[in-house]
Amino acid sequence: MRQKFCDKTGLKRYAAISIMLLAVLLTGCAAKGSANTGSSTDAGPKRKLIIDTDTGADDASAIILAACNENVDILGVTVLVGNVDLEQGTQNALMALEVAGSDAPVYKGSDENLSGEKVEAFSVYGNDGMGDAGLIHPTKTAESEEAIDFILDSVNKYPGEVELVAIGPATNIAKAIERDPETMKKVKMIWSMGTAGLGPGNATPVAEFNVISDAEAYKAMLDSGLPITIVGLDMCGGGSEWTNEEFDKLAKTNDAGRFVRDSFAKLREFYASNGSADSVMNCDALAMTCVLYPDFIKDTFLCHGSCITDPGETYGEVIFYRQGFVYDTGAVDYDFNVTLVSEADKESFFDRYQSAIKPLN
């Protein structure tokens, strides 16, 4: 039988048993609220998340992190084309959940952009988006319900409770807004790993991959007036990057850590070819850390986000207008519905991640 990590059912079943017996019986996530996790064990209802993903290695590591949090209920994972094609991304999402011991359902979404054009997948994570390391062999299959229907059904079922965590292009979310804008007004928060933040892009000098993959969809999401928190590319560099030594350290933690390490093999090769052999970004897991651990976020500002969809060199750029800032051309009259994360506890990122997936001991 495949050994599962982050199995919270076992934790509940043996809650009354001694700590010594817990250590013997369980192989789940590290105890939440322990050092370096920044999490909380406060009693109360679990947060309801839908993770929207184009599952590459970084997405998978983010899914595993969420599955390892006892204060979260993953209502479902919705998939779309991006890093890899829709079918491969679905298989990758199923495998990430299985590695984490989660039975959250997976739903297939968009394989075309908001304009109806088929999207060609692009990945620096290998052909399968997961390091081409033979990792993907899930035992479950995706649900028959379509992703956009699932999103709308869930938001209707839990009005004011559902948080959408978008770690891929915004197509699924934009289509849900387009199909039923009144229902989408019941979303509690949209978390987006997207844009260059206040720094340079990675797809172009000014645009980030998730945005430029479907800039029209990202614009529709920003223009919807829904509450959005953005973690940009500028949060992913510097002290938040994972080194080769840290990947090897993660692999010694458990099977989940080895899975994450191996899935990043092609990305690490890509970075090495660009002269950055010692460390790589893991933006999606960092964004998920912002979602799960509020103390990880050190500063934000409220703003209006404007996505450029005109053809040309600035296509996919997102411009942020700060609330309360008077520009030389005059005040701007916008909806200030976007919270941009401008500072995070980057140095603690790896330790928090490893602590979160570590088995009880």
pLDDT tens digits for 39-56?
A: 444 557 999 999 999 999
C-alpha distances (whole Å) from 210 to each of 76, 189, 205, 229, 240 are 20, 18, 14, 15, 19
Rounded to an integer, the average pLDDT of 332-349 is 94
Domain around 123: 37-240+282-349
pLDDT of residue 359: 62
Is 25 domain-assigned?
Answer: no
Question: Residues 218-228: pLDDT tens digits?
Answer: 999 999 999 99
Q: What is the number of domains present in the chain? A: 1
Structure tokens at 233: 């590319």
What does residue 75 show for φ and ψ, rounded to 5 degrees? Answer: -65, -35
Is 153 domain-assigned?
Answer: yes
Task: Mention every residue, 6+ apart, whose C-beta is less than 8 A from residue 95.
Answer: 60, 130, 135, 136, 137, 138
Is 299 domain-assigned?
Answer: yes
For position 90, which CATH number holds?
3.90.245.10
The whole-model pTM stands at 0.88
Is 357 domain-assigned?
Answer: no
Residue of 175, 189, 25 lying closest to 112 (CA atoms):
175
Task: Mention every residue, 6+ apart, whose C-beta is less than 8 A from residue 20.
Answer: none
Is 264 domain-assigned?
Answer: no
Is 3 domain-assigned?
Answer: no
Question: Residues 319-338: pLDDT tens digits?
Answer: 999 998 888 887 677 899 99
